[in-house]
Structure 1
């Protein structure tokens, strides 16, 4: 994690992927997902960061995050340690929960930011090969906040940036951000070649 301190840029979003060691499950119950969400909120009160897309899967999670005040490595150390301690207490787990390294991709180009967020919001389709009626039906991603503007969202979630970017790229031929995310068929077919595909 030390390398991120050197390259951290406060104005840039990073696509973070953290996986369970040997692809083991890091979320087993609904309570685990809820505790991880609580941990993000707790971390935000200390470090103040912004997330524009996330998806939590059984054995990994994705964040599209910007940390303007402190190196992102500090934020991730706090989140991962808090959750790891919880998981080990709850399940009497004594092994290493996470892989020793996480995947990080610095994203400064707005179109790449859109592409990364779309991949994150569709991530459960790549790993489970199931469609839950509608994309927003998956409960452990930030996408439902984009569909329902009245839905209560955590303070660290920003749902305004990505929709505003769609309007700047008419060549995408999408009326809005939700239509962009729900254009599924092409993304699923290319998932094995997608630069963000680390599931």
Structure 2
């Protein structure tokens, strides 16, 4: 199946995964994680990109981000993040060459139905990998910042989906904790995972048709694995 060019739309959330070159380790020590999070916090402002969730794993990163009116900002953000991490590791290890795969994976996400689900998918990644028993135990994701445990929690962006969780920050945080702790269906996991792997869309058929009209191209391969209804 030929690879389709990446589709990026302004003001839409995008689920991003970028892996280390040949799946090599990209985060070996706490300082590595801290530097990437610091760079993400700084560069999202430079390129006008909203950040809803993140999780830094040993050899890859998950991000849920939305470019502003300039869709190009997303690619510029990813390029700048990768370049900074590569320069840092090369200086540290006295090496040359790339740290990351040349092409990151991306899926446009339907906000009202799948944005929170993608946040949960991202922040539970260390739990599914059996690295921790709960999202709160993992230091290198957005979960603790989102629920107000981290002292530096003010830089994550709020979509309307988060605001609907409660009237106050405290209520939203408690509702979000409950949401993350809920059992996740296999259908939800499959929808998010396949959309990301195929570079397709995370959403209902109506959303897929809407985005394809906006983009002016066929994005989804109308076959196995495509969400079947608006349920």
TM-score when normalising by structure 2: 0.69
Distance 2:159 2:11 in 1: 16
Quote how far apart the aligned CAs of 1:194 are.
Answer: 5.5
Question: Which structure has the larger Rg over C-alpha atoms?
Answer: 2
Q: Are positions 1:18 and 2:18 aligned together? A: yes
Shift of 1:108: 2.6
Task: Note the alpha carbon deviations across 1:88-139, whole angstroms, 9 max, x for none.
Answer: 1112232421112111001134211121111001011122x1434x421211
Within-5 A mapping of 1:11-50: 11-50=11-50
RMSD of Structure 2 on Structure 1 (CA): 2.7
Where does the alignment leave 5 or more consecutive residues of structure 2 unmatched? 167-173, 198-231
Please tell me whether the aligned partners of residues 56 and 140 of structure 1 are also in contact (alpha carbons under 8 angstroms).
Answer: yes
Are the aligned partners of 1:145 and 1:159 in contact in 2 as well (CA < 8 Å)? no
The alignment of Structure 1 onto Structure 2 pairs a total of residues equal to 183
Give the TM-score normalised by the residue count of structure 1.
0.79
| Structure 2 counterpart of 1:62 | 62
Report the CA distance between 1:87 and its aligned residue: 1.2
> Residues 1-199 of structure 1 correspond to what in structure 2 (within 5 A)?
3-4=5-6, 7-70=7-70, 71=72, 72-127=74-129, 129-132=130-133, 134-148=134-148, 151-153=151-153, 155=155, 157-159=156-158, 161-165=160-164, 176-184=175-183, 186=184, 193=190, 195-196=192-193
Shift in alpha-carbon separation, 1:56–1:164, aligned structure 2, 3 A: same
Question: Which sections of structure 1, spanning at least 5 residues, go unmatched?
Answer: 168-174
Task: Note if contact 2:11-2:69 (Cα within 8 Å) is conserved in structure 1.
Answer: no
